Structures are given as C-alpha cells and as structure tokens.
Chain A
Amino acid sequence: MPGPVRTSDPLRPAAQPSRALVLVALAVFGVLALGPVAIMGQRIAAEPAALESLGDPRVIDLLVRTVLLGLGAAGIALAIGLPFGFLVARTNVFGASALRALGIVPILLPPIMLAMTWTMLLPLRGPWMCAFILGVSSFPLVSLFAARAAERIDARREEAALLTGGLRAVVRMELPLVLRPALGGALLAFIVAINEFALPDYVSSVGKKFNVYAGEVFSSWQVDGNEARAVVKAIPIVALTLIALVPILVARRGRSETIDASFQRPSPLRLGRWRLPATLFCLAAVTVGALLPLGRLAYESGGGSRVFSGVSIRRMGWTQGGGAAQNMPTTAPPTAAATSADARKEAVRAVQAAARAAAGQDPIDPKANTVAQATPLQRRRSVDFNAPEVKATEAAKKGDDVSDFGQGWPRFRENLVKAFVRALDLSRGSLISSLLFALIAATIALPIALVLGHAVARSRLGPLLTMLAIVPIAVPGTLFGIGTIVLWNHAATASIYDSGALVVLLFAGRFLAVPILICAGAVRSYDARLEESAHLVGAGPIKRLFTVVAPGVWTSLVGSWIVVFALSVRELDAAVLVPAANDTAMFRVFNAVHFGRDDFVSALSLLVVFAILLPGMLWSSFGRTRPRFLP
C-alpha cells in the first residue's frame, strides 16, 4: 500500500527559502512581535534580583492552581473535541458540514461572553465552572486537529479494519491516529486557559474567589518600581506555553507528510443506530459552546430577562434557609418601593427617553422625574411633554425591556430590532474602527507569515523560529501592550504612536504567531518536489514562494487571514493601553457590561460576534473551498 510521501526534509536545497526575504520578514517580525517583549525583558536585566519573586510560595501556589485549571480545561476540551471532530469529519451524522462550521464558533467568541451566559444558567461558580467554560470555549482547538487527522486516514486502511472487525475495529485502529493530534489541540486549550484571568475573576465574583496566576501578573503592574518583577512574573506563563508546545512541534515534525496521488479519501462511516445519538452529541457541543450563548444574547436583545435560573436557584436556597443561609430574612414582604418598582422604572425611562429625544440625544440625563432644565452650558431646550414626538417616544419606550417571550413574538422582534438599531447607531464608528484595524492587521500579517511559515517548514532553524514565533502570543496582554507603548513612543515614530497605525501594528505583532504556524503546517504538507521542479526551470526562491508555494497553500492563507482578523476584533487586554485603540467595539462592549446587561449591550455583543465571524461566513458562502487552519 503506497504511503504518504515525506516532504519536509529541511536539507532539500530547492525548497530552501530565500535568505534575504526571510531576513526582511524576520526584521519585521522582530520589530512588531518581539520588540515589545524584548524591550520589557530589558527590565529584568536591569534588576536580576526580581527573579527571586518567583520563589514566593504564594506565587507557586497560584501557578500550580493555574496549571490544574489548564489541565481541567484541556481535559474537557479533549472530551468534547475529540469525538466531535471525528464525528463531523468522518461519519454520516446529520448536518455534518453545518455542525463542523458551527464547531469553530466557540473559540472565536470572547470567553467572557460564554461566562456571562453560563453563570446565569448554572448555579455553579469557582474552579469547576472556570474549567467548564474554558473547556467548552476551546474544544474547537481539539476538534480541528482531530477532524483533520481523521480525514487523512486512507480509505483502504479503514476498509480493511471495517472488514475484519466492523465499526469497533475502525475506532480501535483510528483512535490512536486521531488521539495524538487531538492531544496537541488539548495542549493549545491548556495554553489558552492558563493565560486567562478575566474569566476566573468574573466567574468567581460570587462566593469563594478563584485567583489565577495571570491575575497576579496583571496586579504586579500596579506597584511603582515593580516593573522588573511584573515582567518576571510573566516568565512562568511563557515557559509553560513553550513547554506545552514542544510535544506538538515534535509530533508535527514527525508526521510531516503529504497526501500523494495514491491517497484515497475515505467515505463517511455509517453509524447505523448510533447516528442519532452521535448527531445529538455534536448538536449538544455546539449548543453549549455557541448556540446557547448567542441565543441568550439574542433573547436579551429582544428584552428578555437578564436574571435566569442560576439566580433563581440561589435565591430559593437563601429564602428556604439551611446552612449558612438560615438566618437570612425571608423574602421581604413587598415594600412600597418594591411594589412600585415597575411603575418607577416606567416613569424614569419615559422621562429619560422623552428628554433625550426632545433635547438632542444627550446621554447625560436630565433631572429624573422633572423636566430638563436649560442650563447656561446646555444647548438643549426644555421638554414639552405634550409635544407629539415626546408622546410618541414615551409610548415607544414603555415597551422596552418588558417584552420577554410572554409578550409574544411581535413585541420581542420589535425590541430586538430596536436594540440593534440603537447599538448600530451608538457604536457604528467603533465597529468600523474594529473592522478596519483587524482587516489591515490581517493583511499585513499574511505575507510575513507566508515567508516565515515557509522558513519554519523548510529550514534547519524551523523549531527555533517556531519557539520565537510563539513568544508574543504567550506573554500576557498587559506586558505586550506596555511593551508596545515603550517601543513606539518616540519622536521618530510619533505619527504612528498617535494614530490608529499603532493599533494595527499591535494586532499584527501579537497574533503573527498563529498564521506563521498555519502556513508552516500547510507548507510542510505541500510537496517539495513541486518547488524542486520550479527550481530546475530557473525560478528563484522568491518566485517559488509566491508563484508555486502560495497558490498551493492558498486555502491556508485564507484561514490565516480569517484567524488574525477574528483575534484582532476580539483583542482587549493589550489594546486597552494604547491610545488609539479605545474606539473599538470590544472596548465599548466591556464598558457597557460594567453598567449591567441591557438590550443594548447584548445587541452590541452580537454585532461584535458577527464582525468576528463575518469573513469566515462570507468565505463559506461564496468560496469554493473551505479555509484551512491545519495541513
């Protein structure tokens, strides 16, 4: 049986990358991605004693706890992602293609959005809830690897197993082949989990606090003269990330093979009576990771309640007594304030709405329950509550936030539309900024990633380049953001620092690692003999790269672009420090969330999610092939 052809021989001369081009790309990568990290690293050199802070038992405890959280999240991601990836890629589950596409969504959603939903739905908090949400959020990393590995199993091999032992034998034969790549995906899920601190902070806001190491890194920046220690604190996270990557890289280099002409694509396995349960499992996975959070946001956008079962259960527990809650006063009899809450809400909203509409959309509200006064500073006029437009506004506002499904679909739909119009109206500029920044960052990253990805795959220095490529995405966002300020805030680069260009460079630098790895994988599985042929007819390394390799891996280039775009739209931790980045949609979502959840916040969150998914959806709709994220 002809096997796959190994093509990754780094010594194959015709496939060697252009040194000049690699040096140029490395220089750009060095400035954008490594510069902010290196410049912060200098602070350790200036104060080596700061390294002692890593020996603090408290810090070690936090690190151990964070590793355990990462392992938990990776375990959950593996438990969901491995079967999911295999089922949607290789079996006849109903709607496999749609489920496969939907299965990518959870990793693209900001984890905090999942947290906002799941803390409302479940009365669970603390480390288990954190691990659950992080696992659910990152299972696509596992399923992508698992699906791709499962697709690369030759049909003849599978048929042999099927003939000898049926479906059970197929699973026994294929599981080891899929497990190793899936474990690689689980390690990536581990990396995502150990770098997250906003989510554990949010999830443990009620009950016992669950602190993680990344929070310690963030807090370290608040103390004056502590910069060196703050940078030092990032070292374990970076080290853990690089250590976690070693097995992935070793495995990938060992498996760097391509599918040759003799490869026979396997046909979908027929699951028989297991088809429905398998479909339900896949549906449950995408529901938990994507449909439910998105549905919840849509429900809230339409005026649905922001308080859900988790709260109800907890409150029920209190009012029924027991345990520490036994001394809690029983539910208060409806006080005058409580009984009049709805009426008050209506009155306040009506006044706000009327005054805003009549006085020129001033978000600084006028005196509650009184007519807005024209102060010397204000250009707004006082409100005539008998004016038709005010009455109309009042009438329209009265329906806000009370629709729920109990009020029927038309009211829900009306509120939904209203919420989206308001979100678009107030945040149009931010959404456009987000899209533009992300679009430019992704476009800049692409050629650099192609050059360096090719170098990673074809040169002797591949493993070293990979490790270097990972560094900017492995360091905490705060460190990268501050490093970017330090690096670019000079007179010579003033026009960049003071403009949106800095945001673009920050996004491109921080996320370049991802397209580099995607391109490296794609190039590794691309037959080097084609480059050799081009070499024989006189094509130089640059021409080979752009006219032979690039067209051969173009679906991976599309995948790379989409990933950088999506990551850029949802970036917040580093961008928040940079002056020009505060007009992004994610920034607005987080500012709005601070003041509670309302239909506007939910609608804006959905718009951000839509922006994140937009290129992928467009490509899926109009492209003839799927974008590739893995070779």
Chain B
Amino acid sequence: MNLRTPALLDLRLGALLLALPLASCGDAPDLVVRVSLDQIFSEELMKEFEAETGLVVRAQYDIEQAKTVGHVRAIIEESKSRPRTDVFWNNEIAQTIRLAELGLLEAYDSPNAKDIPELFRDPERRWTGFGARARVLIVNTDMVPEGETPNGTLDLFDPKWAGKCGIALPLTGTTLTHATALYHVLGDEWARDFMQKVVAANGEGTVSLPNSNGQSMTLVANGELAWAWTDTDDFNVARMDGHPVRRVYPDQRAGDGVLSRDGEPLGTLLIPNTVMLLKDAPNPENAKRFIDWVLRREIEERLAFSRSAQIPVRDDVPRPDYVGKIGDFRVMQVDYAEVGKTIGARTEELTETFNR
C-alpha cells in the first residue's frame, strides 16, 4: 500500500473543511441594522433604503419567540467584545431605555426629528420615537354583540368572559412594557396583586395567556377567544384580512371593568417605535444616514398606511381614518424613562410570577 496517500487525502480533506466555511464568507455590509418591527412590515423599507443610497445593509429581523432576548441580548453581548450593530430600530421603547441605561447608545440629534414632539425624544438624544402603536382589545364581532363589548383591563376577571378572554404572557414585547407601566403608574402593590390575579385566573382556566400579541390576535380572529389584548398593528392585520373583529381602546370611560386612577380612567398605553445609534457602531456615518431616512415624515406616513397601521406621532402627518390620532383616545400617562429603568427587574419578578 502507498502510505503517502492518506497524507494527501488528509490534506485535501483539510482544504475542503477550510474552504467550505470560507465559501460562505462575504463582504462586510455597509450598515448593520437590527429591526424588531416585524419583518413583513420593515423588509421592503430596508430594501428601499438600500436602493436609494446604494449602501449594503444587513438587516437582522426578529421573530416573535425571541423578542427582547434576540436583539437586546445580542447587542449587549456584542458590546462586551466588538460592537457590530450600527442601528437598532426597536418597535417599542422600554428596552430602548434599558440599553440607554446600560450606556450602549450614542447621542444623535437627527435633523429630521425636529418636528417630533419632545415626549417622544430622549432629552439626551440617544433615541428618537416615531410611529406608535396603542394597546387595544381585539374583539370577535361574531361572538360579541356591540353592546356586550368589554371596556377595560378589569374585564379580564368578569365571570361573563371566563374562558373566552386573554392577554399575552407579559414576559416579552409590548405586553412586558405594558405590565411594567402598570407597576409604575398604579404602584408595586397594586400591580403585584393584579398579576397574581391574572395567574390565578389562568390557573382556573378563565384567562388565557397566549405566547404573543400576534397569537392573541389569531385566537380572536379564529374565534377561539372572544377578545384579547393586543396592539393596534396586530388588530389591523386581522381587520385587513377580513376577520370579524373590532378594536376597543380600553380604560377610556369610567364604568365596569375600567381601570382608574384618582377617579379618572387610566387610558391605554401608547408605545412608539424608537430608533437609535449604537455606541461604537462600526459604521456611524451610514447609521446616521439611516436614522435620518427612517425619521422622515414620509416613512411615518408609509407606516401609517401599511398593514401595521402605526400611529404617527407628528400630528400633521397624513394617515388613513382608521389609524386615528393620538388625541382621539385617552392615553395612559407614563414616564417611559422610569418604565425603561425598571423593566429588567420587573422581568425577573414577572418571570417568577408567571413561570410556575
């Protein structure tokens, strides 16, 4: 036998092993953007930005399962060694503030954000809010007559709805932000008691806890639940797909099931998209171009007319009638900065409350 053959074979194999992963290597992108606005809404915009600027963008989308853990954890882990993300387009705000608190954001005052209300801008300009969503109840019109519609948060515990209503598990996404806001607005004691009641109600099978707002929407649209909490974008998807659904802004007028503070209905939570430049971003200039692009009025308009039906935070941006204006409904008064600062601790507490 020829004893040299194995060495050659080994060499060829080694070369093959080396070549295969190398073959999957490509040129580094001009810009890395992490996007938590759902891919079906954001992908086309990303492509449009590429076409307009000629930049090669690596857009990292999210999946419902990995909300929060996916992007925020990856950004935190990357920042410890070598930041790779330039821009984070977050579809909510609390995790943004969490990143700001961790010192992972770079201030950037975009010229296109001048007409955005200060409420939606970080005083230090580390993030900017735009196109918002509201927390709403999605109601199946085939199952719930107009006069029977639930009105607010506490309707979850009305025996009339036992087994037919739901709220997404408040461990990720906007439901987590919502839960954290309730702690902030109504106090720790009240919020703890409320969460325990939700857990107890779920234990009795009267309140369902879907794994996401999207699934809440699907369950109501398909008639598996009569109503559930979701966001305006999910509601709009169901509406545009022709499902028998109606939207209810919760906690608007005093009455049964409505959550109040100091005798006033609490209103519903408004959650803006936020865009931010990451600290030590590898491509800061391209990142700023992208942020300027996203904060254009036209993009807010596009988002309003899209299936995600985002509510423009600028009053004068055109929108379809069904999207409405921020003043059309009572908004929960909440300090986003405080919510963002406490969301980590609340996540731990809520995990202990709900994961049992």
Residue-by-residue, is A338-381 near B (CB-CB < 8 Å gives 1, otherwise 0)?
A: 10011011101100100000000011111110100001111000
Q: Does A558 contact B (CB under 8 A)?
A: no
Residues of A close to B205: CB separation below 8 A: 207-208, 324
Given A211-B354, A216-B351, A365-B240: A582 and B60 interface contact (C-beta under 8 Å) = yes
Q: Does B206 contact A (CB under 8 A)?
A: yes
Q: Does A117 contact B (CB under 8 A)?
A: no
Contact B241 A587 (CB under 8 A): no
Bound state CA distance, A332 and B214, in angstroms?
24
Contact B242 A209 (CB under 8 A): no
Contact of B58 among A220, A370, A579 (CB under 8 A): A579
Bound state CA distance, A334 and B144, in angstroms?
10
Residue-by-residue, is A174-213 near B (CB-CB < 8 Å gives 1, otherwise 0)?
A: 0000000000000000000000001001101111110100
Residues of A close to B208: CB separation below 8 A: 205-207
Bound state CA distance, A215 and B306, in angstroms?
33
Contact of A342 among B63, B212, B242, B298 (CB under 8 A): B242
Given A226-B348, A332-B143, A440-B20: A577 and B162 interface contact (C-beta under 8 Å) = no
Query: B163's closest neighbor in chain A, by CB?
Result: A324
Bound state CA distance, A226 and B74, in angstroms?
14
Bound state CA distance, A206 and B225, in angstroms?
8
Query: A215's closest neighbor in chain B, by CB?
Result: B355
Residues of A close to B41: CB separation below 8 A: 363-364
Contact B84 A498 (CB under 8 A): yes
Bound state CA distance, A478 and B65, in angstroms?
11
Q: Does A315 contact B (CB under 8 A)?
A: yes
Bound state CA distance, A136 and B153, in angstroms?
39
Contact B82 A489 (CB under 8 A): yes
Bound state CA distance, A156 and B59, in angstroms?
64
Tell me how far the C-beta of A221 lies from the nearest C-beta in chain B, rounded to whole angstroms.
5
Residues of B close to A542: CB separation below 8 A: 6-7, 9-10
Residues of A close to B45: CB separation below 8 A: 364
Contact of A501 among B25, B203, B348 (CB under 8 A): B25
Contact of A307 among B40, B78, B222 (CB under 8 A): B222
> Which stretch, A258-266, A276-284, A588-596, touches the partner chain B?
A588-596
Residue-by-residue, is A591-620 near B (CB-CB < 8 Å gives 1, otherwise 0)?
A: 110111110000000000000000000000
Query: B69's closest neighbor in chain A, by CB?
Result: A221
Residues of A close to B305: CB separation below 8 A: 364-367
Residues of B close to A503: CB separation below 8 A: 24
Contact B221 A596 (CB under 8 A): yes
Q: Does B187 contact A (CB under 8 A)?
A: no
Q: Does B166 contact A (CB under 8 A)?
A: yes
Query: B10's closest neighbor in chain A, by CB?
Result: A542
Given A58-B356, A489-B77, A579-B84: A206 and B69 interface contact (C-beta under 8 Å) = no
Contact A202 B211 (CB under 8 A): yes
Contact A341 B242 (CB under 8 A): yes
Contact B73 A577 (CB under 8 A): yes
Contact of A345 among B44, B223, B241 (CB under 8 A): B241
Bound state CA distance, A220 and B172, in angstroms?
12
Q: Does A62 contact B (CB under 8 A)?
A: yes
> Which stretch, B26-34, B121-129, B265-273, touches the partner chain A?
B26-34
Contacting residues of chain B (299-344) with chain A, CB-CB under 8 angstroms: 299, 301-303, 305-307, 320, 322, 344
Given A315-B143, A348-B240, A590-B63: A337 and B69 interface contact (C-beta under 8 Å) = no
Q: Does B263 contact A (CB under 8 A)?
A: no
Contact B242 A349 (CB under 8 A): yes
Contact A307 B145 (CB under 8 A): no
Q: Does A287 contact B (CB under 8 A)?
A: no
Tell me how far the C-beta of A513 lies from the nearest C-beta in chain B, rounded to whole angstroms.
18
Contact A590 B73 (CB under 8 A): no
Q: Does B141 contact A (CB under 8 A)?
A: yes
Contact B242 A500 (CB under 8 A): no
Q: Does B347 contact A (CB under 8 A)?
A: yes
Residues of A close to B202: CB separation below 8 A: 208-209
Contact A58 B25 (CB under 8 A): no
Contact of B141 among A335, A363, A547, A582 (CB under 8 A): A335
Q: Does A219 contact B (CB under 8 A)?
A: yes
Contact of A201 among B66, B141, B211, B226 (CB under 8 A): B211
Bound state CA distance, A514 and B16, in angstroms?
21
Query: A503's closest neighbor in chain B, by CB?
Result: B24
Q: Does A546 contact B (CB under 8 A)?
A: yes
Residues of B close to A338: CB separation below 8 A: 141-142, 244
Q: Does B54 contact A (CB under 8 A)?
A: no
Query: A377's closest neighbor in chain B, by CB?
Result: B298
Query: A306's closest neighbor in chain B, by CB?
Result: B222
Given A62-B355, A315-B143, A338-B141: A224 and B224 interface contact (C-beta under 8 Å) = no
Query: A123's closest neighbor in chain B, by CB?
Result: B224
Contact B63 A352 (CB under 8 A): no
Which of B29, B39, B65, B203 has the most chain A CB within a 10 Å cutoff? B65
Tell me how far the C-beta of B198 lies from the nearest C-beta in chain A, rounded to whole angstroms.
10
Given A206-B224, A219-B171, A376-B298: A211 and B356 interface contact (C-beta under 8 Å) = yes
Q: Does B21 contact A (CB under 8 A)?
A: yes
Bound state CA distance, A55 and B21, in angstroms?
42
Tell me how far the C-beta of B212 lies from the nearest C-beta in chain A, rounded to whole angstroms.
7
Q: Does A621 contact B (CB under 8 A)?
A: no
Which of B6, B82, B102, B238 has the most chain A CB within a 10 Å cutoff? B6
Bound state CA distance, A364 and B47, in angstroms?
12
Contact A440 B65 (CB under 8 A): no
Contact B24 A546 (CB under 8 A): no
Contact B64 A205 (CB under 8 A): no
Query: B322's closest neighbor in chain A, by CB?
Result: A368
Contact of B145 among A333, A478, A579, A592 (CB under 8 A): A333
Tell me how far the C-beta of B301 lies from the nearest C-beta in chain A, rounded to whole angstroms.
6
Q: Does B284 contact A (CB under 8 A)?
A: no
Q: Does B292 contact A (CB under 8 A)?
A: no
Contact of B26 among A61, A499, A587 (CB under 8 A): A499
Residues of B close to A546: CB separation below 8 A: 6, 9-10
Q: Does A543 contact B (CB under 8 A)?
A: yes
Contact A216 B141 (CB under 8 A): no
Residues of B close to A341: CB separation below 8 A: 242-244
Tell me how far the C-beta of A102 lies from the nearest C-beta in chain B, rounded to whole angstroms.
29
Tell me how far the C-beta of A439 lies from the nearest C-beta in chain B, rounded to whole angstroms.
9
Residue-by-residue, is A537-565 near B (CB-CB < 8 Å gives 1, otherwise 0)?
A: 11110110011000000000000000000
Residues of B close to A534: CB separation below 8 A: 1
Q: Does A46 contact B (CB under 8 A)?
A: no
Q: Does B352 contact A (CB under 8 A)?
A: yes
Bound state CA distance, A573 and B7, in angstroms?
39
Contact B355 A219 (CB under 8 A): yes
Given A318-B163, A595-B237: A576 and B66 interface contact (C-beta under 8 Å) = yes
Contact of A577 among B13, B43, B70, B242 (CB under 8 A): B70
Bound state CA distance, A596 and B40, in angstroms?
12
Bound state CA distance, A495 and B165, in angstroms?
49
Residues of B close to A352: CB separation below 8 A: 240
Residues of A close to B48: CB separation below 8 A: 377
Q: Does A162 contact B (CB under 8 A)?
A: no
Given A211-B356, A539-B3: A447 and B98 interface contact (C-beta under 8 Å) = no
Contact A348 B163 (CB under 8 A): no
Tell me how far the C-beta of A145 lies from the nearest C-beta in chain B, rounded to whole angstroms.
31
Q: Does B286 contact A (CB under 8 A)?
A: no
Bound state CA distance, A62 and B205, in angstroms?
19
Contact of A222 among B16, B238, B347 (CB under 8 A): B347
Q: Does A471 contact B (CB under 8 A)?
A: no
Residues of B close to A202: CB separation below 8 A: 211, 215
Contact B164 A318 (CB under 8 A): yes
Contact A499 B142 (CB under 8 A): no
Bound state CA distance, A501 and B16, in angstroms?
14
Residue-by-residue, is A252-290 near B (CB-CB < 8 Å gives 1, otherwise 0)?
A: 000000000000000000000000000000000000000
The 4 closest A-B pairs by CB, nearest first: A345-B242, A377-B298, A542-B6, A594-B214
Having A311-B222, A314-B224, one finds 9 other A-B pairs with CB under 8 Å, namely A21-B10, A325-B163, A329-B144, A337-B244, A377-B48, A444-B17, A499-B26, A537-B1, A576-B70
Would you give 7 A-B contacts (Cβ < 8 Å), ordered by A? A318-B226, A364-B303, A496-B21, A547-B5, A577-B69, A582-B60, A590-B63
